[in-house]
Each structure stands twice: as structure tokens, then as C-alpha cells.
Amino acid sequence: RFVAIALLTGFLSVVAGQLRPMPSAGLPGDLFGLGIASRIRTDHNSTAKASTDFGQMVNAAPEAVFHPATPADIAELIRFSASSAAPFPVAPRGEGHSWRGQALAPGGVVVDMSSLGRGHRAPRINVSAAGAEPFVDAGGEQLWIDVLRATLQHGLAPRVWTDYLRLTVGGTLSNAGIGGQAFRHGPQIANVQELDVVTGTGEMVTCSRDMNSDLFFAALGGLGQFGVITRARIRLEPAPKRVRWVRLAYSDVATFTKDQEFLISKRTDQIKFDYVEGQVQLNRSFIEGPKSTPFFSGTDLARLASKTGSAAIYYIEAAMYYTEDTAILVDKKMKALLDHLSFEKGFVFTKDVTFLQFLDRVREEESVLRSAGVWEVPHPWLNLFVPRSRILDFDNGVFKALLKDANPAGIILMYPMNKDMWDDRMTAMTPTTNDDVFYAVSMLWSALSMDDVPQLERGNKAVLDFCYQQGIECKQYLPHYTSQDGWQQHFGTKWSKIAELKARYDPQALLSPGQRIFSKPV
């Protein structure tokens, strides 16, 4: 009988000109009578795809996946849920590149943001190049690589980039969006001028620093809690043509951090780097890991190992932008900067690439990892912001002790940012100590099998416990807590404001439930 009803429903829907989905037992039946119903999918294939993420450590199916054609469709879905006798959760999903289920909606509806960008008559990336302050209006669903390509056509580009560009505008702005340019320009959220947001009551609101500013600041770094970002206006600058990209090796952490901090203090000088990051290579991975990298040959690494006694190695990665006609100047500037630095003599490795190649560099690594079958594996990543005043204690306790004999697959990033480039009115958190500099430390582990996950998770917990015991205020970036207590500690004095904004913009606590911040109406 069930099959007969299903067939009949399908038949009637096709006759009506729209393929309507089967109502899902867990969602109100009226939902399937709305005009947007033809965009809802309840079949197993659709829900299975929205049940996990890049991290592959959480699996929870939604009741349905929604493919909106316009932001108004999202508003209609949320309004329906908010006014329903049985409200259901709604999670916008960008690329699902989170790792702890943040974009999942168990028992609710996942909004597949990518469908906003499809088949549109009006393009959803619009560059305004004419004025003195150029900007791009990009749909929240757009990938940063597409924003880059569109803006480059006008000789322009956003100022701050994540290392990987297959992430959506809405997904990174819901966190902060950090990378090697953030020391100069702040995180991506500090470079946004205006947003269109669909709130948790289904209202469509345009906001900026001067208009509906509390929603603007709440949504930036807001972990999807206050609304769905459907458009962001992002500041642009003239794009360089080429990039001189260097990697400098260090055996001593104090020298490494001193040099990094020197480089990020040069924000406005004529002679400066445009991008500064850093990496840590652990003892065992150095000896047992791959014998060559895109920067270093096997011979270089052997030379480095013999010189340093194979202690942990640190690398500054920095880049200077230029256009062809300033190539000679860039050599001079580079020399002037390198003369100030104390890397291991002779261990400077240089590449020269186009701006696009530089920004899209992780794509190449992705292809290599995919072909080796180690991209789509569990990723128990841990990202921390560590105050400058405790970074050497962190290094000593974590890299030189806890992880001393470990050889996890993955990479460790470590680079400083200037705190005054972050706007504390936004939801994103930085350490609350008095330090004017803090370090992003990203432990980007790959579990080569599911069996490796518990051990890596124990390692992550040991790092967090170490910080707690030593009184090091390590603020999680891309945070994950399993209890509201954890979130309250994370937000500290901002918590009451967060709860107040949640009560105003998403009182039923519908949005992005996978963050596990609010589980019931506020």
C-alpha cells in the first residue's frame, strides 16, 4: 500500500509539472505543500551525501536536503520551521569542509547552498571595479576560487585568503578566514563591508557596520548561529601578477618566532612580505617522512638533518607580490629583508609563480593526496590561537614533549597574527590576554585508517589538557565543544551577548545545530 501511495504521489506530482518529494516522517507534512517543496529531497541518496563532512568522524542524516534557487527560498523554509508547531533544525552547508559535523542537521533540513549559484540569470559574483574602493558582491555559496577568478578579470582581488580555496564565502566568514595575509589585513571577516543574511526567523536583512550592525557583527565569525549569509560585499585591491615565494629553515624555535614577529611588524613599510606563515616539522616525521617536498630535495633535507641534529625543524613561509616590471626591485627588497633574518645559513628556498598559482597552491597538494588515496580520510584537526607570551612554553610542552616521539600523518602550521587587526565586536574569538600578537597553531592530522582516530583524538586532548594545566589560554579556532559549558568558557565575557543575539535572531535555535552551541530555544 505504501509503495502504491508513493507511486501515485509521484505520478500526480509529475502530472502537476513538478516532481514533489515524498514527505519525511520527521518533518511536518505541510512543508511538502509549500511552493518550495519541489526543491526538497528526502531520498536516501540525497540525505546520505549531507550526513558527513571533510572530517569523516561524524555521521548524522538530515530528514531532507533543500536546494534553494534564491535566498527568498531559504527565508521561506526557515519561516515555515520557525512558525511550525514542531520546528526543525536547518543547517546551511557550503562545501561541508568542516570536520566535526558543524554543517549537519540531524533530524532537520540541510540547505545545499551550492544550488543558489546554479542556473541563475543574474550572476552571483559581481565586481564593482570603478570607484576608489573596489569591491565584489559574492553569494554566500560561492567558492573563493571562483571569487578569485572573477575579480582577477578586473585586475583586482580580495586581500586575505585561506590556504585552500574550495571553501565557500559563507563557510569561511562564519569562522573568520585566516591565512598568511591576515597579519596585514586581519582575517577575512575584517574585510567585509556588507552582508545579506536570512535570520533564524526567516527575515531577509541587509547589514553593515552602520546598518543593523549587531547582526553584521554577530554573523561574522558567528558559526552559522544568527543567520544564513547569502551575500557578502568584500573589499578588493589591485592584484599582483607574480609572487616570489620563499621558505626558510630554522632549528631553533626562539629564532623562528622572533623572525616571524619581526616580519609581521612590517605591515605598512615599503619593504615587507605580503604573506607570512610557518610550519613545524616534528622530529620523527623529519627523519622518516618523505625525502623530498615541493621546496626541498632529498639532499637538502639530509643536509638540514645533519646540521641540526634532527631536532624539530621550523620553516617560515613568506611571499612578496610583484608585477613583471618590478622584478629587479623585488630581488632587492627580498635581499634587504632576508639580511635581517637568522635562518639556518644557506637554507633559503625560493620559487617564483603566478598570483593564481600561489593562492591555489593547496589544490596541487590535494591532487597528490587524492591520487594517493589519503585525502578522503578522517581528519581530527585541532586549531588553536596561542598568545605570543606562551608560544615557547607551548612549543616546549607540545612539540618537544607530548608529540616528541609521534609521527602522525599531516602538517602543523604555526604563524603569528596582529591582534589589533581583529574587531572584537565580531563573534570570532581570539585569546583575551594582553598580548598584541597571537599564533595560529594548526595540527592538521590525517588518520590513515579509522583505527588511528582514537589515538589522534587522545593526542589532541592531551594538548588541550596541557594548555589548561599550564594556564596557557589556547583559544580554539574552528572550535568544537560537546557541552554548553565549553562554549561559555570559549566565549567568556562575550557569552551573555551571544545568548542575547541568539534570542533575537534565532530564538528557536534552528540554525547550524551541528555546532552544538544551543540545543533548545533561547
Assign 346 to helix, strand or coil.
Answer: coil
Nearest residue (CB) to ligand FAD, 221 versus 459: 221
Nearest residue (CB) to ligand FAD, 53 versus 261: 53
Closest CA to 236 of 271, 193, 187: 193
How far is the C-alpha of 246 from the C-alpha of 395, rounded, in Å?
A: 23
453 to 512, contacts with ligand FAD by CB under 6 A? 478, 512
**Residue from 80, 135, 144, 164 that binds ligand FAD (CB under 6 A)?**
164
Q: Tell me the closest approach of the beta carbon of residue 187 to ligand FAD, in angstroms.
A: 7
Is residue 57 within the footprint of ligand FAD (CB under 6 A)? no
Q: Tell me the closest approach of the beta carbon of residue 402 to ligand FAD, in angstroms.
A: 24
Is residue 93 within the footprint of ligand FAD (CB under 6 A)? yes
* E strands in 323-409: 348-354, 382-387
Nearest residue (CB) to ligand FAD, 202 versus 397: 202
- The DSSP letter of residue 24 is P
How far is the C-alpha of 456 from the C-alpha of 89, rounded, in Å?
A: 31
Nearest residue (CB) to ligand FAD, 33 versus 123: 123
Contacting residues for 356 by C-beta, under 8 A, at least 6 apart: 148, 149, 152
* E strands in 359-504: 382-387, 410-418, 437-445, 475-476
Of these residues, 277, 317, 360, 473, which one is catalytic? 277
Is residue 147 within the footprint of ligand FAD (CB under 6 A)? no
Per the structure block, which three cell numbers stand in for 364?
596541487
Q: Is 280 exposed, middle or buried (0-12, 13-18, 19+ CB in 10 A)?
A: buried
Q: Give the binding range for ligand FAD (CB under 6 A) out of 57-65, 220-228, 401-409, 418-426.
A: 220-228
How many residues sit in the footprint of ligand FAD (CB under 6 A)?
A: 36
Q: Tell me the closest approach of the beta carbon of residue 164 to ligand FAD, in angstroms.
A: 3
Distances from the Cα of 21 to the Cαs of 32, 75, 78, 208, in angstroms? 7, 20, 18, 38
Q: Are 244 and 337 in contact (CB under 8 A)?
A: no
Is residue 257 within the footprint of ligand FAD (CB under 6 A)? no
Q: Tell me the closest approach of the beta carbon of residue 52 to ligand FAD, in angstroms.
A: 11
How far is the C-alpha of 196 from the C-alpha of 205, rounded, in Å?
A: 6
Q: Tell me the closest approach of the beta carbon of residue 517 to ligand FAD, in angstroms.
A: 10
Q: To which residue does cell 646540521 refer?
A: 307
Q: Tell me the closest approach of the beta carbon of residue 322 to ligand FAD, in angstroms.
A: 23
Nearest residue (CB) to ligand FAD, 142 versus 283: 142
How far is the C-alpha of 287 from the C-alpha of 291, rounded, in Å?
A: 8
How far is the C-alpha of 347 from the C-alpha of 331, rounded, in Å?
A: 17
Q: Give the binding range for ligand FAD (CB under 6 A) out of 73-81, 157-165, 209-217, 337-345.
A: 157-165
168 to 207, contacts with ligand FAD by CB under 6 A? 168, 170-172, 174-179
Per the structure block, which three cell numbers stand in for 25?
516522517
Nearest residue (CB) to ligand FAD, 110 versus 334: 110
Nearest residue (CB) to ligand FAD, 193 versus 326: 193
How far is the C-alpha of 110 from the C-alpha of 96, rounded, in Å?
A: 11
Of these residues, 67, 97, 185, 480, which one is catalytic? 97
Query: Is residue 163 among the annotated active site residues?
Result: yes
Is residue 277 within the footprint of ligand FAD (CB under 6 A)? no
How far is the C-alpha of 160 from the C-alpha of 183, rounded, in Å?
A: 9
Is residue 513 within the footprint of ligand FAD (CB under 6 A)? no
* E strands in 55-203: 64-66, 90-93, 109-112, 125-128, 135-139, 156-158, 192-199
Per-residue mark of binding to ligand FAD, 222-251 (x: CB under 6 A): -xx---xx----------------------
How far is the C-alpha of 488 from the C-alpha of 431, rounded, in Å?
A: 14
Q: Tell me the closest approach of the beta carbon of residue 97 to ligand FAD, in angstroms.
A: 3
* Complete edge-to-edge strand list for the sheet that includes strand 348-354: 348-354, 242-250, 313-322, 275-281, 410-418, 437-445, 382-387, 475-476
Of these residues, 163, 203, 365, 423, which one is catalytic? 163
Q: Tell me the closest approach of the beta carbon of residue 250 to ligand FAD, in angstroms.
A: 22
Query: Is residue 435 among the annotated active site residues?
Result: no
Q: Tell me the closest approach of the beta carbon of residue 154 to ligand FAD, in angstroms.
A: 24
Angle between helices 484-491 and 495-505 (to 10 degrees): 110
**Residue from 52, 81, 115, 162 that binds ligand FAD (CB under 6 A)?**
162
Nearest residue (CB) to ligand FAD, 224 versus 408: 224
List residues binding ligand FAD (CB under 6 A): 53-54, 91-98, 102-103, 113, 140, 162-164, 167-168, 170-172, 174-179, 223-224, 228-229, 478, 512, 514-515
Please list the active-site residues.
Answer: 97, 163, 277
